[in-house]
Homo-oligomer: A and B are copies of this chain.
């Protein structure tokens, strides 16, 4: 754990330069707008520890898979988010000296991510090796209003000298992914252009043998240089090198004068433009940016952020660390995915790093969709569902590769385009509960929005594919006289290749049940559409539905009658049952223990049975949930970022307030405080949705029941009050909870009936209802 970040309600603040933690800070201070993004790198040269990172949404490269020992069924490539052209760079030379915070001596350093307005600001006084002092100030943002662009205001003030300052704003495509499997680079240059104060670079991802689309990205820049923010005359020397364009400006600056550089950048992807259109569109875009100017662009950007916060801010009074934590999570979620484009998804690192490649994990369905359902327009969550619908064909192919047939669909563990990327057999082939999460998200969306059209239009086909997979994946055990599911890995990846993982068995049967229910419903409401689907999917109604029913009725679930707990998997009780207190010196076990020791131990990486009780809580009594929580939570090491939020929600539900708070802090400040010693690789974006859920579903007990929004709020002892906004079927509520009261403030124009602590409350448009806690 680290704690060099200053606690602040709205900002992530680094006071004084923590060079040793620079890659962590760069991750924390990443900027994005759903379409492009970047780590909190310095604009000027920096020769110290840094992970340069610029990313363009949806642009990836199918890097050759690296394995030690090949297993049949492994994919040929691992699609990874591409580290793209650096458009923020501005080299600065003062006289003959390169400005570099690694070689200079730095005072009054302050780097701030302003989450309210979505910008990164940095000030510092630097003494160059030659002894001269300059002050620098930079401010930049990735525009939420114009989401293919960003802008920088960078200034430098000589404090004790007059000299020529050489300024070189550039675009550099000589970029490599740190996680390249064979140290290869992934970009080719296609075209470049420079003029007085503009530069354009079109790069293309290298050819690949996997038939994966090659992307072109046009990056453009324009710059303007001023003294004391006033227009000034200068000469600019265009520079062109392999995958590099720049303009070099030499300008006389006197002591105390502020040399200001405005730099505008755009990133246009061939996913959205024709090849021929890329360059002209970049030029048009750049022209628009220059004409609008930094301040107006920033104003539009700030306004877009204000609208976002208006919809999804959470305030916490009395606990500044908790306040900072939750806003940090919301901020990064909003930066990563805006829901504008149904081809995109939520990468586990967003625009903050390279690790994990791919863009889509089951995290999206299990963690992110609930967040977007409550905080964004309906179409955002719907687009995330459509993304999977579009990949249904690939999911069927993926299952065929593993030996399944008849339209059985196995969605990939990690993907960019629907094809599987990951290659650990125990994950790729066995962590199949992901399929269940994808089915559950369809249910979750429908339950929340009341929009049944998704099911008939798209959802049912996905459900049929997944149900067919479950049908083929289970085995009839003559020995047990039950269906069993062999060789799986549950959400708890610290167990591999187990039989009858309770969670997977449960979600499999749930999928079958839900699919049957939807078919029966559609039979009545829209038989024509149902017939279409039956034809498209070659569905054998009687046989397949009969098979599914038989499975539902005869599935085996491991259970311990003595303790009254569901067993994570068959044979779990053969382990030595310990608690994390017994191994305090051994944590994190994923760093301190060999893999086989982890596997043989009872310790749990992330909620597994508890994940099931969380998703399907209505199927269980509070007593059952408590018994299971009390059995499993003491064994859970939470070494997955996705774990604490589920424990927080369940702890809140069963009244374990201290535990719920502990889990909340852990999830909210995971990255800021670098709990797992890996923030430098990038942020845990998807688990941030879990943080939001810990407040809204945990402390405020938000659920949907019989089509109504339901709440059961309490307030953690450590807080004075908290509030959040939540959208539900056209209404927008601000919920505020204090020690004394719950305020339900309907700030929309739609009347709503909500359930609070199991009582129905009517909140008319614009009306506030106050209730006791």
Contacts and interface: CB of A to CB of B under 8 A. Distances in A.
Interface string A399-432: 0011100000000000000000001111001100
A475 B571 contact: no
Interface string A570-595: 11011111000000000000111111
Given A67-B68, A571-B571, A574-B486, A402 B480 contact: no
Given A590-B72, A591-B72, A596 B487 contact: yes
Nearest to A573: B479
Contact of A486 (B72, B479, B487, B600): B600
A478 B426 CA distance: 28
A484 interface: yes
A486 B499 CA distance: 13
Given A478-B577, A573-B479, A574-B475, A594 B73 contact: yes
Q: How large is the interface on A (under 10, 10 to 19, 20 to 34, 35 or more residues)?
A: 35 or more
B73 A486 contact: no
Given A66-B67, A66-B68, A475-B574, A73 B595 contact: yes
A2 B591 CA distance: 50
A456 interface: no
Contacts of A538: none
A482 to B, nearest CB: 9
Contacts of A574: 475, 477, 479-480, 484, 486, 499
Report the copy number of this chain in the oligomer: 2
A241 interface: no
Contacts of A480: 574
Interface string A59-73: 000000111110111
Interface string A472-494: 00011111100010110000000
Contact of A403 (B66, B68, B593): B593
A501 to B, nearest CB: 13
A431 to B, nearest CB: 11
A597 B403 contact: yes
A615 interface: no
A756 B584 CA distance: 63
A354 to B, nearest CB: 15
Nearest to A498: B497
A576 to B, nearest CB: 6
Contacts of A577: 478
A164 interface: no
Nearest to A560: B479
Contacts of A426: 497
A599 interface: yes
A550 to B, nearest CB: 16
B595 A425 contact: yes
30 contacts: A66-B68, A67-B68, A68-B423, A68-B424, A71-B594, A71-B595, A72-B590, A72-B591, A73-B594, A73-B595, A182-B182, A402-B594, A425-B595, A425-B596, A426-B497, A429-B594, A475-B574, A475-B600, A477-B573, A477-B575, A478-B573, A480-B574, A486-B574, A486-B600, A487-B596, A487-B600, A499-B571, A499-B574, A570-B571, A571-B571
Interface of A: 65-69, 71-73, 182, 401-403, 423-426, 429-430, 475-480, 484, 486-487, 496-499, 570-571, 573-577, 590-600
Closest 6 CB pairs of A and B: A73-B594, A429-B596, A479-B573, A71-B595, A477-B574, A402-B594
